[in-house]
Structure 1
Amino acid sequence: MKKNDRYIYPAVFTYEPGQEIAVTIPDLDVATSGENDDDALLSARELLGCVLYGLEEDGEEIPAPSQLKDVSVAENEHTALVDVYMPSVRQAQSSKAVNRTVTLPAWLNSLAVEHNVNFSQTLQAALRDQLKVH
């Protein structure tokens, strides 16, 4: 499956008094919200990236976006195009840190702590050497 660098989908922004702005992306059947227009748009962009990245990773078909003019809205709703630049999303996911529990002899842990060893950096360097990845 070819991965696009940029996707653009229509989103529906719903305004209700005293509530956050609800944002739905009808073509993907997902929703988010934001405190104001800027926050709602950023939330929609982040959600769009996460959903599309997941579809890419799972090898699922990515639905074609609807035309903005074809999205119907209620009186308290507005449409906008939301875009996402996928290389940034993919990069963020590929360098995402994960936690691992490591068991060490107590004496080695104490010595490392005494010398201010950064356990994360040390483990990463050792794994790169072991796996011959640089």
Structure 2
Amino acid sequence: MDTLLYPACFYPCKDKQDAYTVVVPDLPGCVTEGDSLANAMAMATEAASGWILDEMEDGRAIPKASNMLSIKPESPDGFVSLLALDMDSYADKYGSKAVRKNLTIPAWLHTFAEANHINYSKVLKDSLASMYQKKQNAKQG
């Protein structure tokens, strides 16, 4: 999966100097804050990545990102910036749901896999991830 880009609105916190609240409009309920702009950016990236991963793990569609220029902050002191979500790395690190699947393959293929110490789960996962990426690219192109 490529890096996903989502616009986010950053608002200075009124009661904390240098702190920001961040809202990701395309991801309902995705709100976080950080005690500095850099920390707010990191926290927003983490929150949005977690939001997307939950959707993926539950089999729901990932919301399409809005054009950054169409997003307007709700207050005059807010601003919009893009979040870059590396979902492959995030899913590898934090993906917790696993689904067990049985499969049937020809005996000769099983013999080959066993002789070559091939991990069935890894091959299936890598193949499905590749197919998923191709579908996502086709939808965007």
TM-score by length of structure 1 reads: 0.65
| 3-state SS of 2:23 partner | strand
Aligned equivalent of 1:113 = none
| 1:11-30 mapped onto 2 (5 Å cutoff) | 11-19=8-16, 20-29=19-28, 30=30
In the alignment, structure 2 segments of 5+ residues that lack a partner are: 98-120, 122-141
8 A Cα contact 1:8 1:82, kept in partner: yes
| 1:1-134 mapped onto 2 (5 Å cutoff) | 4-19=1-16, 20-29=19-28, 30-73=30-73, 74-94=75-95
Once the 2 structures are TM-superposed, how far is the Cα of residue 95 of structure 1 from its aligned partner?
7.4
Larger radius of gyration: 1
8 A Cα contact 1:16 1:76, kept in partner: no
Once the 2 structures are TM-superposed, how far is the Cα of residue 15 of structure 1 from its aligned partner?
1.0
Amino acid at match of 2:76: E
Give me the whole-angstrom Cα distance separating, in 2, the residues matched to 1:60 and 1:9. 18
Once the 2 structures are TM-superposed, how far is the Cα of residue 39 of structure 1 from its aligned partner?
0.2
RMSD: 1.9
Once the 2 structures are TM-superposed, how far is the Cα of residue 94 of structure 1 from its aligned partner?
4.4
Give me the whole-angstrom Cα distance separating, in 2, the residues matched to 1:39 and 1:49. 15
TM-score by length of structure 2 reads: 0.62
Identity, % of aligned positions: 27
Query: Residues 94, 82 of structure 1: CA spacing in aligned structure 2 closer, same or farther, 3 A cutoff?
Result: closer
8 A Cα contact 2:6 2:24, kept in partner: yes
Give me the whole-angstrom Cα distance separating, in 1, the residues matched to 2:24 and 2:2. 19
Give me the whole-angstrom Cα distance separating, in 2, the residues matched to 1:94 and 1:27. 21
Amino acid at match of 1:17: K
Count of aligned positions:
94
Poorly superposed stretches of 4+, deviation over 6 Å = none
